[in-house]
Amino acid sequence: MKPLIPNDAASKALGAGPGPDREDLSLHDEILTRLRDHIVEGNIPDGGRVPERQLCEMLGISRTPLREALKVLASEGLVELLPNRGARVRQLSEHDLAELFDVMGGLEALAGRLACENITDAEIAEIERLHYEMYGFYLHRDMHGYFRVNQIIHQKIVEAARNSALLATYANFAGRIRRIRYSANFARKRERWGEAMREHETILDALRRRAGSELSDILFKHLRNKRTAAVEHLTADDKAGSVPT
Amino acid sequence: MKPLIPNDAASKALGAGPGPDREDLSLHDEILTRLRDHIVEGNIPDGGRVPERQLCEMLGISRTPLREALKVLASEGLVELLPNRGARVRQLSEHDLAELFDVMGGLEALAGRLACENITDAEIAEIERLHYEMYGFYLHRDMHGYFRVNQIIHQKIVEAARNSALLATYANFAGRIRRIRYSANFARKRERWGEAMREHETILDALRRRAGSELSDILFKHLRNKRTAAVEHLTADDKAGSVPT
DNA sequence: AATCAGAATATTGTTCACAATTTTGATCGA
DNA sequence: TCGATCAAAATTGTGAACAATATTCTGATT
């Protein structure tokens, strides 16, 4: 069990103080973010029930705002709502995971195309810097650092697209997939690593030349390869994790 | 793994008669759909407030489920929630509209690519049939029929992608844009019409050859042209719609 | 007459309470 | 001993009441 957040902390933080504009994030969004993080971080087992009362105490709120947040998370695809049976964290089949990766690929392909239209030289320089940093992690076989910088690079490309709707949708899908990634690292895919590094070379190259269509294509295929690795990993993990009756 | 038969909701829904079986879609989803349609159809002015009490009476429900639905619609981007000031239907600037069209373009580009991997000959034949039907409307200058079939074709391509996550996201963005389209038809863009028709020829061609990357590119650019027309229309409409006095 | 201050009104955000359905537990029977 | 049926408990879905904030209306003052 984790230490509970004091109940009156949230309400006081909102209502009290001479400058209430500080907490304009509106209690609702606060709850939403915290609940989402709680689920994404894997505190609730896959396919497990989401106990309303327990979460109410943990977040220090009543059921109504919590249920509102759950409805939103359901529309985001993180949980599923069964009639009269409450919310369960949605467990992804390998088919679902493949679908999500493909959509991510489509979104990144779009991001790459738009980025070529809008990106500044400074931003490209920053991505170049990150690229070489990532290359350093690759050489040192630092998987953790590699993944971290890798994420940042992809994020930077999406941000360079200058499209808030795209950014929000991308964040949504990234969150759904992150839940899987949390439960296991992809460390076994060593052979894929060098290939991914080479793909990133071509990504950077296309970005430098601002070749939108080309970059779009590369990014989708890059994600498609990621998808293959991820799905293979998930199935392997499923077999290993299956409990003998 | 899944020993649970969903529930008797499915069977009841099948035998839905005049009785209360209709309610099985879970009241929440029912409300959500009706409220979304109500807004998309433009029954509430752009940027106007969403009176909770009035809608409660209209839908015959209490405030709690209505507010849950509003939160979801906010996460979908159809309305925006101002703290202590309720929900307003989100009015789209031309910048917002351009962003949405670009994302639609990215989604359709993805759909085209995936469709080339998965589409059956029968589906292609169906789209061909629709294409020629649309061409007929074009020849007869039947704008309404043209747009209707046009929508169906794009929808068919997305469905042929065999990706439910993509389908759901596409539906979301289509809904947001449809609100604009409802408020005005694009009839003035006659010169764009022939160009669009030609683009559709190339779309069908690439689909026949199952040329994924190519179709992806064409579809994005097709949507980009649509975007230009739509934004120009919106600005023109804004000027014309401004009430003197 | 116009503007600003203050009170009355309306609307929103939240908590609480109740009805309905599901899940669990126990008793009975084979 | 295992299974089934029925009852008790817990949990969910909905509605209504309550406090807090915003909006509007009135009236006074410059």
Task: Check pLDDT > 80 for residue B14.
Answer: no
Contact A55, A14 (CB under 8 A): no
Q: Which nucleotide is nearest to A10 (CA to C1')?
A: C14
Mind listing the pLDDT tens digit for each residue in B103-157? 999 999 999 999 999 999 999 999 999 999 999 999 999 988 999 999 999 999 9
Nearest CA to B151 out of B216, B196, B189, B207 is that of B196
Alpha helices in B140-211, H assignment, sequence order: 143-160, 164-183, 190-208
pLDDT tens per residue across span A46-87: 888 888 998 999 899 999 999 999 999 999 999 999 999 999
The mean pLDDT value of chain A amounts to 84
Token digits of residue B237: 């409409």
Strand partners, B80: B88
Q: Is A43 on the interface with B (CB under 8 A)?
A: no
Which contiguous run of DSSP H or E holds residue B132?
helix B121-139
| Cβ-contact B94, A106 below 8 angstroms | no
B-proximal residues of A, 9-38, CB under 8 Å:
24, 26, 28
Cβ neighbours around B169 below 10 Å, total: 23
User: Which residue does chain B place closest to A26, by CA atoms?
Assistant: B83
Nucleotides of D under 7 A from a protein CB: 11-17, 20-23
The span from the first CA to the last CA of chain A, in angstroms, equals 28
Q: Is B9 in contact with A83 (CB distance < 8 Å)?
A: yes
Give me the helix-helix angle, A94-118 and B164-183, nearest 10°.
Answer: 50
Element (DSSP H or E) covering residue B191 = helix B190-208
Residue lying closest to nucleotide D15, CA to C1': B62
Give the C-alpha separation, B63 to A168, whole Å. Answer: 28
Q: How far is the CA of B23 from the C1' of D4 (A)?
A: 31
Q: Do B103 and A163 touch (CB under 8 A)?
A: yes
* B64 has a chain A CB within 8 A of its CB: yes
A96 touches chain B (CB under 8 A): yes
- Mean per-residue pLDDT, A182-191: 59
Determine the pLDDT at residue A28.
84
Q: What is the pTM of this model?
A: 0.86
| DSSP annotation of A243 | P
Q: Both tokens of residue A220? A: 């989708």
The helix/strand/coil state of A140 is coil
Looking up tokens 């690795």 gives: A229
H-type helices in chain A, by residue range?
A: 7-15, 26-40, 52-59, 63-76, 94-118, 121-139, 143-160, 164-183, 190-208, 212-241
Minimum mean pLDDT among A13-22, A52-61, A93-102, A109-118: which range?
A13-22
* Strands B79-82 vs A79-82: parallel, antiparallel or unpaired: unpaired
**Which of B74 and A13 is assigned the larger pLDDT?**
B74
> Quick one: average pLDDT of A25-50?
88
- State how far the Cα of B41 lies from the Cα of B57, in Å rounded to an integer: 19
How many CB atoms lie under 10 A from the CB of residue A229? Answer: 18
Lowest mean pLDDT: which of A83-87, A216-220, B97-101, B212-216?
A83-87
pLDDT band at B220 (very low <50, low <70, confident <90, very high): very high
| Residue B30: other Cβ atoms inside 10 A | 17
Neighbours of A5 (CB within 10 A): 13
Amino acid at A26: S
User: How far apart are alpha carbons B236 and A70 in whole angstroms?
Assistant: 41
Q: How far apart are CA A39 and CA B191, in angstroms?
A: 51
Tokens of A57: 């105490």
pLDDT at A47: 87
Residue A106 near chain B (CB below 8 Å): yes
pLDDT of A239 strictly over 90: no
**B99 to chain A: which residues are within 8 Å by CB?**
163-166
Joined together, the tokens standing for residue B187 give 């009839």
Which tokens in the block code for residue B74?
A: 């906010």
More reliable by pLDDT, B127 or A230: B127
Q: Which of A186, A184, A197, A225 is nearest to A101 (CA)?
A: A225
Tokens of B71: 């939160």
What does the alpha-carbon distance between residue B216 and residue A219 come to, in Å, rounded to a whole number? Answer: 13
| Average pLDDT of the residues in B154-168 | 98
Is residue B54 predicted with pLDDT exceeding 80? yes
B77 touches chain A (CB under 8 A): yes
Q: Which bases on strand C have an atom closer than 7 Å to a protein beta carbon?
A: 11-17, 21-23
Is the CB of B81 within 7 Å of strand C?
yes
